[in-house]
Amino acid sequence: MSDTLEPPRACPPPGSPLSLVRQRGCFWQRSESTRNKPARQNFEEPEFSPRADKAESGSAAIRNYRLSSQSQPPEDAGQCTASFSPGPPPAVAMVTDLARPPGPAQLWACLLATLLCILPVTDGITQTVPRVKLGFKELLASGRVAPFLGGGEVESLLLDEERGRLVLGTRDQVFLLDLEQLNRNPRQIDWPAPRETVEMCKLAGKNAHMDCGNFVRVLHSYNRTHVYACGTGAFSPLCAFLELRGQGEDAVFHLVPGSVESGRLKCPFDPRQPFASVLTDQYLYAGTASDFLGKDATFTRSLGPALQQEHFLRTDQSEHYWIDGAKFIAAHPVSDTYNPDDDKIYFFFREASRDGGSGDKNVLSRVARVCQNDIGGLRSLTSKWSTFLKARLVCSIPGGTAWTRTSTSCVSVMRSPRGHFLLPTRDERNPIVYGVFTTTSSIFRGSAVCVYSMADIRAVFNGPYAHKEGPDHRWVEYEGRIPYPRPGTCPSKTYDPRIKTTKDFPDEVVSFIKHHPLMYEAVYPITGRPLFTRINLAYRLTQIAVDRVAAEDGQYAVMFLGTDIGSVLKVVSVTQEDWRTEEVVLEELQVFQTPSPIVNMEISSKQQQLYVGSRAGLAQVWLHRCSLYGTLCAECCLARDPYCAWDGTQCSRYIQASKRRARRQDIKHGDPSSQCWDLEENSAMDRPEELVIFGVERNSTFLECVSKSQQARVRWFLQRSGSERREEVKPDERVIQTALGLLIRAVLWQDEGLYSCAAQEQSFTRTLLTVTLKVIHPAQAAAGPQEPALRARQHYKDLLRAGPDPYCQALRLQGRRLRQKAKWKHAQELKKLRNRRHPGATLS
């Protein structure tokens, strides 16, 4: 890829008013000569070469910019860096003057620069619409969703596919549910917060309903018979063990007496505060706030076997660059090698990181890791992590120019992660990491899904460290000597018999990792850009769950994305032959009647169910709805759903089998021409609906026609009366084609004829509706129907309004008696016929 690229519109030329305003995602890079100079307390004017300042201006000067190919430190990754090509790089110090308020020109320049940063992003991204969109009532009528009738706001879910049960944590209650049917004999445990704690919570100014309750937010399997649960306890966290034995009606489900303990550093105080936890080998790893106000965020380890005394660890709170205002998202145990001593905990969070050059804070996405066998340092970092390392996750939407790892165009950076999902692979050491990111800007609303490789994450942790130096304390690459063993390495006898635990680390190793917890390089997505994006829509993505599905032409990862309005997007990413990825939005389902952010999602591949939790409750959603796609082979192939295939008679669930049957499926291209034979005409079982509509001349008439597929192109054709030629309807000022049908604003006599509504998708065209439009004169409409068919229909309506006629009633009664008499005579004749054939037989 060439280093010389055209700059995006968001990068203004030096010297213009826009260059004096530092924007989120766009700034001018300082030259080496001024990077280490002390910052002045006023706007510093940029320096220009004579040619750049005088000979060129406007768009001519902009064309001579090129993107710098220098690698940026992790705090600046994803931002627009530019340098002026003629002569040396310009020295531009972007320092805001706190004592001098910005004038109107600077404010307008700030707004214009922000708009210019947004325009290339939205113009360069195509967003596919869902092929099928179902509202809550439609989804409920299809029988493919089952809301849980009990409980309330969903706080936590624990899925146990092996025993077919689901543990649900809500406010003051814990439910034990059946995976197949949530409403079949649910069991519950009432676990409210102590009364005195609730009163203290109210006195502290908290809301009695929203805050002062025991919101159960931690549910983890401790062993085969017990679950470890924690709740907020009305801003006084508490934890306990739940006993689960047996199944069905004989199941034992209760709170273990005497097991209630403090939940501080295990569960958040605030029921709305993001946090993450995981329990493995009887150790609980949790990222949460350690104080009532939620300011001191930390990642801790607690619990553990009874014989282990040195089990509690936490991050170092004395150094703000370990974790600064973190909001934890997820935590997962991962085995890095086949040596169990290398097992680590990877956790994802977002934090506010301070840029040393400007003094402001930006919200950045992070991935961090610790060794499971870490027991802290000997003299330094006692009872604290001695293997803690973190790196930045980059998820950026490119602008109008090319994007590389070392230099980026002006991009919109997804800084705020919302949910993460680890998709297992055949190699359990290398799962695929899916992350949901949202923008922090109030002007530009966007969400994205980025996919990362665990191998790339490990490579970053094995790369160079970051180091703060210079008067502005900017993060730069550490080029000094790295002590042995490498900081962040787990202690193991296999590597060095002298280092059995982290307390055997030399002091210089512990000191180094205390002051160098950040890696210099960032982690980039596998595809180099987001796998799925949603820009400037009415919703944002909040949660993600991924299912690996086997199809006819390979395996696909189907993503289920929760939103903040209670809907679920079903998306599959298809890799084409040229390694280009295509996002296919299969469905958009409104799971909850009341719009509410989705906070939990769990997939049961065994039950083929998706369990969705929000503030509105819990819902059980089927992973596939093959019958809703249509009754034709072409419609099933156009759906591109890996769960579904055409079996010769209907669109049904695709199941791998050794014997090949008449299965038709095309996920990669969605082209039914190579799979199906029902492309030309509608089948006898799928004839289009036929309607007759009367329109009054010079009045508006609406012909309604909606395609089941939102990706289909609806076309209207007209065959005029007395003509065999069919022509396509061309919209104009009088004839308007809308998403719901065809609107004729002023009907004329020449509009009369047979209208056909056809949906075209790829090579398949299907007639959805035929409408016979008949135009009548306004005088005829005012005088009443004049045509014979209309007169007969009106005469029949008048008879119904007049009431029952005695003569008609007598005729109907006489006809009914004659029919009954004829039926009785026929039965008698059949009886006589049987007696003649079998004279000796008698009826029993």
Mind listing the pLDDT tens digit for each residue in 596-607? 999 999 999 999
Lowest-confidence region among 586-600, 680-694, 778-792: 778-792
- Residue that has been written with the tokens 């097991």 in this structure: 259
Evaluate whether residue 682 is within a structural domain. Answer: yes
Final residue belonging to a domain, choices 687, 708, 730: 687
Final residue belonging to a domain, choices 687, 719, 734: 687
Evaluate whether residue 410 is within a structural domain. Answer: no
Claim to verify: residue 704 and residue 767 sit in the same structural domain: yes
Claim to verify: residue 674 and residue 565 sit in the same structural domain: yes
Claim to verify: residue 669 and residue 582 sit in the same structural domain: yes
Evaluate whether residue 549 is within a structural domain. Answer: no
178 vs 6, residue with greater confidence: 178
Evaluate whether residue 563 is within a structural domain. Answer: yes
674: burial class by Cβ within 10 Å (0-12, 13-18, 19+)? Answer: exposed
Residue by residue, DSSP assigns 275-299 as: -EEEEETTEEEEEEE-STTS--EEE
Domain count, the chain: 4
Claim to verify: residue 673 and residue 786 sit in the same structural domain: no
Full residue range of the structural domain in which residue 677 is found: 127-150+557-687
Determine the pLDDT at residue 648.
Answer: 81
| Section 512-529 average pLDDT | 93
408 vs 708, residue with greater confidence: 708
Q: For residue 704, is pLDDT > 90? A: yes
The fraction of the chain above a pLDDT of 90, given in percent, is 47
Q: For residue 237, is pLDDT > 60? A: yes
Determine the pLDDT at residue 618.
Answer: 96
Evaluate whether residue 479 is within a structural domain. Answer: no
Q: For residue 660, is pLDDT > 80? A: no
Evaluate whether residue 387 is within a structural domain. Answer: no
Please give the Cα distance from 345 to 69 (Å, whole number): 34
| Section 438-461 average pLDDT | 88
Claim to verify: residue 702 and residue 719 sit in the same structural domain: yes
Evaluate whether residue 693 is within a structural domain. Answer: yes
Lowest-confidence region among 206-215, 352-361, 731-740, 752-761: 352-361
Determine the pLDDT at residue 473.
Answer: 74
Lowest-confidence region among 102-106, 328-332, 404-408, 633-637: 404-408
What residue type is 337 in one-letter code? T
Claim to verify: residue 637 and residue 709 sit in the same structural domain: no
Lowest-confidence region among 188-197, 490-499, 525-534, 812-821: 812-821
Which pLDDT band, with edges at 50, 70 and 90, does 53 fall under?
Answer: very low
Determine the pLDDT at residue 171.
Answer: 95
Determine the pLDDT at residue 675.
Answer: 80
Q: For residue 521, is pLDDT > 90? A: yes
Claim to verify: residue 655 and residue 770 sit in the same structural domain: no
Claim to verify: residue 727 and residue 638 sit in the same structural domain: no
Tens digits of residue pLDDT in 395-413: 986 653 223 332 222 333 4
Evaluate whether residue 144 is within a structural domain. Answer: yes
The fraction of the chain above a pLDDT of 70, given in percent, is 72
Determine the pLDDT at residue 313.
Answer: 93
List the beta bridge partners of residue 766.
Answer: 759
Determine the pLDDT at residue 557.
Answer: 92
| Section 166-176 average pLDDT | 96
E strands of 135-180, at which residues?
145-147, 156-160, 165-169, 173-178
Tens digits of residue pLDDT in 597-639: 999 999 999 999 999 999 999 999 999 999 888 888 888 899 9
424: burial class by Cβ within 10 Å (0-12, 13-18, 19+)? Answer: exposed
Q: For residue 80, is pLDDT > 90? A: no
Claim to verify: residue 780 and residue 814 sit in the same structural domain: no
Determine the pLDDT at residue 835.
Answer: 63
Sheet of 609-614, strand order: 145-147, 617-622, 609-614, 598-604
Determine the pLDDT at residue 418.
Answer: 62
Which pLDDT band, with edges at 50, 70 and 90, does 566 fall under?
Answer: very high
Claim to verify: residue 817 and residue 773 sit in the same structural domain: no
Contact indicator for 36, 471 with CB cutoff of 8 Å: yes
Residue by residue, DSSP assigns 556-582 as: EEEEEEEETTSEEEEEEEEE-TTS-EE
Helix (H), strand (E), coil (C) string for 591-659: CCCCCCCEEEEEEECCCCEEEEEECCEEEEEECCCHHHHCCCHHHHHHHCCCCEEECCCCEEECCCCCC
Determine the pLDDT at residue 76.
Answer: 38
Tens digits of residue pLDDT in 120-167: 445 456 678 899 999 999 999 988 999 999 878 999 999 999 989 999
Determine the pLDDT at residue 689.
Answer: 85
Reference 413, options 392, 391, 433, 389; nearest CA is 392
Which pLDDT band, with edges at 50, 70 and 90, does 292 fall under?
Answer: confident
Tokens representing 556 are 């696909």
633 vs 825, residue with greater confidence: 633
Which pLDDT band, with edges at 50, 70 and 90, does 325 fall under?
Answer: confident
CATH number at residue 742: 2.60.40.10
Which pLDDT band, with edges at 50, 70 and 90, does 671 fall under?
Answer: confident
Claim to verify: residue 677 and residue 701 sit in the same structural domain: no
Tokens representing 507 are 């002091």
Average pLDDT over the chain reads 78
Final residue belonging to a domain, choices 687, 703, 718: 687
Determine the pLDDT at residue 547.
Answer: 94
Contact indicator for 48, 57 with CB cutoff of 8 Å: no
Claim to verify: residue 777 and residue 814 sit in the same structural domain: no
Determine the pLDDT at residue 687.
Answer: 78
